Chains A and B, each alone.
Chain A
């Protein structure tokens, strides 16, 4: 019997339909694999009973013949999603013990489609980070290592545990979320595929909020076909999320023809950063050639306000976070500080939040508080929102000229070592998102596809940015790129 853990979502789906394997078998295989992978610290709350229960139900449903694509497929859920009766902490101490009485819309949709939840996945606290080093559960570890040493590498963030789990074959696929790159950057660091859909495609209801105008859920998978299958199951209008779009969800998988002849691919000059590593340059140039060879027309484009995306993001995201995280006050859920005699409500708030929030979260909440405070609101927050309008307009102009998709690097480097950035300026860490934040600011769909290895054998990814609501077309272009790149490398198992 082939190693079941090596299957893709699509392969497993087909094998289940063919009666060659059962969901219970798949589930048990992955539960065992996860048991042996403590060293990666990818899964942080396991749900084996729920998993086996759902697997049995899935097998019955498949036998009846009406099962949706995701039925019976074992997946992981990022800790940011509220899962009923199962710990949902957003990797924060302030939500220790919090067990939701409700299920997020996205994870409910996956459950309804028959998917099997194996457990919750590690992440940066409140999705704030690019390395999974701010988690209350401790670091998630990248299953990939540099060719010449065994230093522990970051899987990226914030969906670090998610990425590590897929790359290490601990599950077939995972849910992630992306506010500034948190699906696409970890996907690139771990050699997997990750898509953030257009803002509004997936419901945010039940997803612990970081920045409400930027957050989006999305799948992280072993390849583009899997991403198409899982994205379809996750998308859809939700009455409980007034920012979710009321548009039908296409069959994304059916749109994967691999034919991109005549498609116009934009190469934005402003994404060529000063000091860009030669390897990233080459990866990008190679990717461009691949799309050209597949029949696409390559067009040089300009997105003039690109350099202001990161500073705009670091005004808007913390501002929205300061508002969203105000609810963590020790009153209704989560951690409440032990109070000294004479402590009143204000002391309760202040101590609870100081104890419960990690350092990065405190920093961002306070930066957000500052930029929204009286006297500064206009100078910072409003200005950043105006710049955001300009950033979005850059993309609109380019799409209006007939560009179908934009090709850029996903990250400025391969996965770096854990702890390498601890003493660095916080801005250094923020630069990891330089290629990805523009996409969240403009609300566009973006996908990361692995296309090569760096000189130390670590995966590198390219990003494609698409038109609003055209995830199908975007995934098809990604599919063509994936086929051309032929990236099949997997990390050697050291755990």
Chain B
């Protein structure tokens, strides 16, 4: 499986990371190096093997569905790059 520049650009877009045009060839090459390494997984016979979900077999614990935390608006906003009137402020999302 070989990655070309347009695929590299698509992946960057999916990952929401801006990659400059001129950096795409190097990126594609790096992907290819890593993916080339990963190819050997195809050698393994995985017939009938379940994909691992949890490394330690465990059942999710349950608790009563009640509010046990919260009401900390100030703390939650304390690290915000742009907080206004009790909200996180961001550039317009919806046209």
Residues of chain A having any CB pair with chain B under 8 Å: 97-101, 198-200, 213-214, 239, 242-243, 245-246, 305, 307-308, 310-312, 314-315, 322, 326, 329-336, 339, 343-351, 353-354, 357, 362-363, 365-367, 369-371, 373, 376, 379-380, 382-390, 392, 425-427, 430, 441-443, 468
Contacts and interface: CB of A to CB of B under 8 A. Distances in A.
Contact of B91 (A339, A370, A387, A425): A339
B51 A389 contact: yes
Given A330-B81, A385-B51, A388-B52, A348 B91 contact: yes
Given A246-B61, A385-B52, A101 B72 contact: yes
A315 B39 CA distance: 10
A362 B17 CA distance: 8
B56 A332 contact: no
B39 to A, nearest CB: 8
Chain A interface helix/strand/loop/mixed: helix
Nearest to A346: B16
B15 A345 contact: no
Given A101-B75, A385-B51, A336 B33 contact: no
Nearest to A379: B1
B41 A343 contact: no
B67 interface: no
Given A246-B61, A315-B41, A333 B80 contact: yes
A97 B81 CA distance: 10
Contact of B58 (A245, A371, A379, A442): A245
Given A213-B55, A333-B80, A383-B41, A350 B61 contact: no
Chain B interface helix/strand/loop/mixed: loop
Across the A-B interface, the 3 shortest Cβ-Cβ residue pairs: A443-B55, A385-B51, A336-B81
A324 B13 CA distance: 17
A384 B41 contact: yes
Contact of A101 (B17, B63, B78, B91): B78
Q: Which of B41, B43, B55, B80 has the most CB of A within 10 A?
A: B55
A314 B49 contact: no
Contacts of A344: 91-93
Contacts of A348: 90-91
6 contacts: A308-B44, A344-B93, A351-B18, A387-B44, A388-B55, A426-B30
B64 to A, nearest CB: 12
Contacts of B42: 383
Interface of B: 1, 3, 8, 11-12, 14-19, 27, 30-31, 33-35, 37-44, 46, 49-56, 58, 60-61, 63, 72, 75-76, 78-82, 88, 90-93
Given A200-B56, A329-B16, A443-B55, A380 B38 contact: yes
A239 B60 CA distance: 11
B33 A427 contact: yes
Contacts of A357: 17
A382 B56 contact: no
Given A308-B40, A427-B33, A199 B56 contact: yes
Contact of B12 (A243, A334, A366, A425): A366
A307 B40 contact: yes
Given A366-B31, A392-B52, A425-B33, A343 B91 contact: yes
B34 A314 contact: yes
Given A200-B58, A329-B16, A362-B17, 11 more contacts: A97-B79, A311-B40, A357-B17, A366-B31, A383-B41, A384-B41, A387-B46, A390-B44, A392-B55, A430-B37, A442-B55
A366 B15 contact: yes
A354 B40 contact: no
B58 A335 contact: no
B61 to A, nearest CB: 6
Contact of B18 (A213, A345, A354, A367): A354
B55 A441 contact: yes
Contact of A389 (B1, B27, B52, B90): B52
Given A339-B91, A426-B33, A312 B41 contact: yes
A334 B81 contact: yes
Nearest to B45: A390
B18 A350 contact: yes
B41 to A, nearest CB: 5
B81 A335 contact: yes
Contact of B79 (A334, A347, A354, A362): A334
B41 A350 contact: no
Contacts of A333: 79-81
Contact of A198 (B53, B56, B63): B56
Nearest to A357: B17
A201 to B, nearest CB: 10
Contacts of B38: 311, 314-315, 371, 380, 384
